[in-house]
Amino acid sequence: MKQKEKDKKTIISKDQQILKCRDDKEPVVLSRVTEQKDNAEPFRLADGYKCSWLKRDDTVGPAKLRPRIEPWLTALFQSEHLALLVGSGLSHAVHHIATIETKKSLQGMGTIEFKHFDKEIKAEAKRSATATGREEGNFEDQIRVANELLRGLEIIPKIESFESNAVDLKIDLERILDDFAASILKGETELMTSRADYRENAFKYLVSFLMSFASRNGTRDRLQIFTTNYDRFIEAGAEVAGLHLLDRFVGSLTPFFRSSRLDIDMHYNPPGIRGEPRYLEGVARFTKLHGSIDWVDTWKSIRRIGLPFGAECIEPYLKAPGLEGVGSHQLMIYPNSAKDRETASYPYVDLFRDFAAAICRPNNTLISFGYSFGDEHINRVIEDMLTIPSTHLVVISHSDPLNRIMPMYDRLGRYSQISLLIGNHLGDFQTLVDNYLPKPAIDQTTFRMAELLKSRGAVEKIEDEVKVLQETQVGSKA
């Protein structure tokens, strides 16, 4: 198994694509034949792999792959329940389109430097990351360890004099959180201040992407969007698209986070019909699993502040009545800086409860895009979901940077319930929207056209059979 996992990592790193959908018994690996961008069929079956629908020397491209991928995704998107899990890959893709001229990039989740206890924090972050199957610790691991260490130092002064250490670490932690919050806002600012045509193109793709999932029949359950991102790219795209997002926040000026989740929805009454409300189109449920840059912990509640998208800094928007004493240490970004287990679990315990309740049910399809499967608390829920035979997981990713996707696919063993689109072509954001995602519209005309063509095809087949029979009879008489 270890050798197999190593080979899978090599496959993705060599500009090859992994595709598994429909009746594929195992992943189909495609290798790139040429780097020429104008080549319409740049891929062929990789050496050592078999495929029932592609011959060894045949080449394929979007024109041949679309009839295989798009209908399959369209069918899955119309499952009774549909959920979308978005990772940092979406933010990086949208930001790349908007800043392609300046070649700017978003800050990743790499390690950071602490002025105090840096060696100890990095060592523990790496140990905990290794225990979960990741090779190195990241920013979130370090923040979690630093919070645990800070809490310990705050307890110790009751016995010994460790107060200065606690103060120094707290200042260090606040500085790092300030810098991280600034980097998130910097990414939003770069998107909004990019060249107009590039920015419009980025939002065009973002809107098409979101509406491909949100365009569901009114009789189906609402789309459930989950994201691990702290930024607000999804909210911005939904605003441009006119997509209404329903979350746990209640209020208008500074909404409050509510644990008592009611199944609030949006309906309308058709003209001339009373007492039979229908689902309003363009509505989705939205959950930010790791919190958000505009969530703050204040007055024993979680509130969403009015932070404009693309603001240069967050401090001016924290200077308001009711937000006294709120700083970067109160930002609800996972893992938060709460001081005890009860508050540390809030509000994330409610958010992950929503995630589990949404995907662990029959006839559900979960699509992950740009998620590297680096969070074990999320992976456990997905693994539980796949124990239900009627559920399905679709993994779409530009690459497998942590070497987690393919090993998890092999470990789960639920091959018939998993579809894969991995690689710098199949998982590319623009290529995906242009070629493989379903049409982003609630369009009954398409379905009527399909039925019409189907009926016409049957009629034409009968007419052809009659014509052949007549010709045969004429020939026999002669």
CA pair distance 415, 21, nearest whole angstrom? 10
pLDDT in tens, the chain (478 residues): 444 444 444 455 567 899 999 999 999 999 988 766 667 888 999 888 888 898 888 899 999 999 999 999 999 998 999 999 999 999 999 999 999 988 888 877 777 888 888 899 889 888 887 777 676 778 888 888 888 888 888 888 666 667 788 888 888 888 888 888 889 999 999 999 999 999 999 999 999 999 999 988 777 889 999 999 999 999 999 999 999 999 999 888 889 998 876 678 888 888 877 777 888 888 999 999 999 999 998 877 889 999 999 888 888 888 888 787 787 778 887 775 444 444 457 788 889 999 999 999 999 999 999 998 988 889 999 999 999 999 999 999 998 877 889 989 999 889 999 999 999 999 999 999 999 998 876 556 666 676 777 677 655 555 555 555 555 555 544 4
Least Cα distance to 363 among 86, 85, 75 occurs for 75
Q: Contact, 293 vs 314, CB < 8 A?
A: yes
Instruction: For residue 451, tell me if it sits in a domain.
Output: no
28-32/16-20 β-pairing: antiparallel
pLDDT at 446: 63
Instruction: For residue 370, tell me if it sits in a domain.
Output: yes
Instruction: For residue 237, tell me if it sits in a domain.
Output: yes
Instruction: For residue 122, tell me if it sits in a domain.
Output: no
Read off the pLDDT of residues 396-420 as tens digits, 9 standing for 90 and up. 999 887 788 998 999 988 999 999 9
Parent domain of 249: 2-87+199-290+342-442
Q: Contact, 370 vs 88, CB < 8 A?
A: yes
Instruction: For residue 311, tell me if it sits in a domain.
Output: no
CA pair distance 11, 25, nearest whole angstrom? 18
Q: Contact, 70 vs 394, CB < 8 A?
A: no
Instruction: For residue 458, tell me if it sits in a domain.
Output: no
Least Cα distance to 254 among 208, 306, 210, 207 occurs for 306
Rg (CA), the chain: 26
pLDDT at 447: 61
* Count: domains in the chain: 1
Q: Which CATH number is 422's domain given?
A: 3.40.50.1220
Instruction: For residue 358, tell me if it sits in a domain.
Output: yes
pLDDT at 435: 94
Q: Contact, 86 vs 370, CB < 8 A?
A: yes
pLDDT at 430: 96
Instruction: For residue 204, tell me if it sits in a domain.
Output: yes
Please report the sign of the dihedral spanned by the C-alpha atoms of residue 419, residue 379, residue 188, residue 309.
positive
